[in-house]
Structure 1
Amino acid sequence: MELKQLEMFLEIARQGTFTEAAKTLYISQPTISMQMAALEKELGAKLFERQGRRNALTPAGKMFLRYATDILMLRAKAVKAVSAYSREIAGTVNVWASSVPADYLLPRFLPDFLRQHPRVFINLARSDSQEVWEKVAGYAADLGVVGTLGDGAEIGYVPFLADHIIVVAAPEGKYGRWGPEIGVETLLAEPLVVREVGSGTQHTFEQALAEKGFPAATLHVVARLQSTEAVKAAAAAGLGLGVISELAARRELAAGTLRGFRVKDLNLRRQFYLITHKQKVLSPATEALRCYLIEKAGEEET
């Protein structure tokens, strides 16, 4: 069994066809077919089966996928440990973050880091916490920032920064006469503009309500929107109360274009986390960014 065979096997599993895998690896299809035939012969089992136009993993292939992934990751660790690995902090770091960290936290921290390390390029992708977790688990992201933790012992995490979920509204009309804190009963009686399912903000909000005996079905939700900016705009236009991160509303609250309210007796504090895959070998640039963000978070919370 050769490492190149494992690399071919994983690429076929990712791409779904021998043809696309061969293109990605810049080799011919006959070559990749021959190597897979040799691998299947050595293992004594078929790894792929035809399903329409795609090559799907057989049960044996799915089992072998885990071992092939671990072998190649272990190879990467060995190369790092025994070779003359360059300690220069350079290269691309793929970061996935949920919406609040991606839009309002990381952009504040990254300029200083990049001034210190001008040969690093940050590729920042934005999604909800659930997908960010999946990207890190699937080795597609070097570093993730999430507002809720997912399942999986393969992911390591450390606390980053804390946040509070608040309710915001247009400053005019009855909302302009409210005090800075409202009760749950008041909240349930008002039209709400919330984030999409999978959002860490929405998960924290609904979980806090459920702990007080109010399931999500009791909410008068009039709109679910895909971004915090959209929720803020809808609330400012008078559509209803918006449920968002306090960090995301700082500018509007300071300018007076939105009013913010805490909800009495609800635990709407949440923690952001930096997450990495325990088996992934972090590049010097990724490790430097991770340490830098932990340091900056500590400075902000002291």
Structure 2
Amino acid sequence: MSNAVFDTRHLLAFSALARLGSFTQAAQELFLTQSAVSHAIKALEEQVGCRLFERAGRSVSLTHAGEQLQRSVEKILAEMRAARSGLDELSRWGHGRLRLGASTTACQYILPTVLREFKQSFPKCVISIDPGDHARQTELLLNNRIDLALMLEPETTKELAFVPLFTDEMRYLVSPTHSWARAGHVQRDTFASETLILYNQTSYTFRLVKEYFQTEGVPLANFLELGSMDAIKELVKIGLGVGVLAPWVAKGEIASGALVSLPLGRRKLRRRWGVAYHKGRRLSLGEETFVGLCQTVTTDFSA
């Protein structure tokens, strides 16, 4: 017997003929000519090296080898039908999967609204979220472990495509009782005595802030670093330091007057947010919808 893989068309012809016992009926079921069915059976018998049917006039019956093969063929065809059914299910509206990556900030301030809207259109879509910093999201995308990443723009990776959403500006956030808030501007003569409260020292944002201050000739020495935006805001509110954050993560607090936003300096520190994915991939309908919802939700986030 040859080690070659069976031709699916031959197996379908074999299955139909074994069930119906007639070349005519098998041909009608498969929408083929009788000669096409006969050719498929002959090719299959040549491949397995033995006769599969006994022919008696217009009717046929399985040989012992044919009976043994039939059990295997029916299992194979059943698996193929199940696979096709599963794929058809995924292609229906609202089904499928969406593997997302996002920074902790995006998980907290962007994703909840986006996913609430997304679920209305794709109620049966299975969603997984892998939170992590900038470097982790890049790694996950390059290793095909996530489909989309809501993140800051990748620096140099040519393998990733990037759909821009908005550009923000890092600013000082202070308590309304802080001397800078009362003065309405940053008092440079008191800067050295201030404690800056920054986001996670291992993050891409921390590196951007550090490089900004170095370029401005200001040593970044007296600072605290935390892994939670909410924790940073709370410490700033009680006057334990000056936060360096994007205003959109504190929109409610700024609007209520609980925090005051001030510029870092004449030169702005801007970041560009967007959705990244592996270049060359064609986005599914669900993925395109997710990107569109991200664009809608973040419309007023730009600085």
Q: TM-score range by the shorter chain?
A: 0.5 to 0.7
1:115 corresponds in structure 2 to 120
1:242 and 1:90, CA in 2 relative to 1: closer, same or farther beyond 3 A? same
| Matching of residues 133-148 of structure 1 within 5 Å | 133-148=138-153
Structure 1 match to 2:216: 212
The letter for the 2-side match of 1:225 is L
Judged with a 3 Å threshold, the aligned counterparts in structure 2 of structure 1 residues 188 and 93 are, in CA distance, closer, same or farther, namely: farther
Mark the runs of 5 or more structure 2 residues left unpaired by the alignment. 1-83
Note if contact 1:156-1:276 (Cα within 8 Å) is conserved in structure 2: yes
Assess, with a 3 A threshold, how the Cα gap between structure 1 residues 94 and 129 changes in structure 2: closer, same or farther.
same
Bigger Rg over Cα: 2
Question: Deviation digits for residues 191-246 of structure 1, max 9, x if unmatched?
Answer: 111111342432332233333344xxx12333111121121122122221111121
Cross-structure match for 1:257: 258
Residues 186/264 of structure 1: CA separation in 2 closer, same or farther (3 Å cut): farther
Counterparts of 1:259 and 1:292, CA distance in 2: 30
Residue matched to 1:244: 245
- Seen in structure 2, the aligned counterparts of structure 1 residues 219 and 140 have a Cα distance that, compared at 3 Å, is same
* Cα deviation, residue 262, structure 1: 1.3
Contact (CA 8 Å) 2:175, 2:260: kept in 1 or not? Answer: yes
Alpha-carbon shift at residue 269 of structure 1 (Å): 2.1
Structure-to-structure mapping, 1:15-164, within 5 angstroms: 86=91, 88-164=93-169
TM-score, with normalisation over the residues of structure 1? 0.62
Q: Is the 8 A contact 1:99 1:126 kept in 2?
A: yes
8 Å Cα contact 2:178-2:239 kept in structure 1: no
CA spacing shift, 1:222–1:292, aligned 2, 3 Å: closer
CA distance in 2, matches of 1:173, 1:211: 26
SS in structure 2 at match of 1:157: strand
Q: Which residue of 2 is the match for residue 226 of structure 1?
A: 227
Given the superposition, is the C-alpha separation of residues 135 and 109 from structure 1 closer, same or farther in structure 2, using an over 3 Å criterion? same
Distance 2:239 2:297 in 1: 37
- Supply the distance in 1 between the matched residues of 2:204 and 2:169 (Cα, whole angstroms): 12
TM-score, normalisation: structure 2: 0.62
- 1:154-178 deviations in whole A, cap 9, x for unaligned? 1111211121211112222434423
Structure 1: give runs of 5+ residues left out of the alignment: 1-78
- Percent sequence identity over aligned pairs: 24
Q: Answer yes or no: is the 8 Å Cα contact 1:90–1:284 preserved in 2.
A: no
* Native 8 Å contact 1:189 1:220 kept in 2: no
Q: Secondary structure at the match of 1:161?
A: strand
